[in-house]
Amino acid sequence: MVDVKMTVDTSPERVFEVLADGWTYAAWVVGASHIRDVDKGWPARGTRIHHCVGSWPVLLDDVTKVHVADPPRLLELEARAWPFGTARIRLELRETEPGTTEILMSEQATRGPGRVLPEAAQALFLVPRNRESLRRLADLAKGRAAA
């Protein structure tokens, strides 16, 4: 798995609020561009976000599905972006001190072309992309805290 960590000046509950709002997915996930629908009950196990990947005019319809949800500590997802593949994404939230959260985002290609790439090659793409995703997630969570 390729790991990226970030520390955010807000609580795990605030960060998980963003994760639990499926309509914000495209606002923090780099590559997701449009949310078409969010299953009722998101982020319960088995629920899905129906999203588009890419940029207009080349958009691919796909889904992200919840495998594990343990609010406010853990969300594990299966993200699809066919024909590119499928990945398992794990977001772990740990309060390091009051009002401060460490977010660990781990990603591993599970199907498709990315699965055959060595981890070091996957990391060349995933580390910068996931750092940016965590920056966006942190900004949304801090913004909620400020509101």
- Helix ranges (H only) for the chain are 12-20, 25-28, 119-146
What amino acid is encoded at 121 in this protein? A
User: Is the distance from CB of 77 to CB of 92 less than 8 angstroms?
Assistant: no
Over the stretch 27-64, which tens digit does the pLDDT of each residue have? 999 999 999 999 999 999 999 999 998 888 888 899 99
Instruction: Summarize the confidence of residues 121-139 as an average pLDDT.
Output: 94
CATH number of 2-146: 3.30.530.20
Over the stretch 12-26, which tens digit does the pLDDT of each residue have? 999 999 999 999 999
Instruction: Summarize the confidence of residues 79-92 as an average pLDDT.
Output: 87
Question: pTM for the full model?
Answer: 0.93
User: Is the distance from CB of 59 to CB of 52 less than 8 angstroms?
Assistant: yes
What's the chain's average pLDDT? 93
Q: Is the pLDDT of residue 127 over 90?
A: yes
| pLDDT score recorded for residue 58 | 87
DSSP letter for 114, please.
G
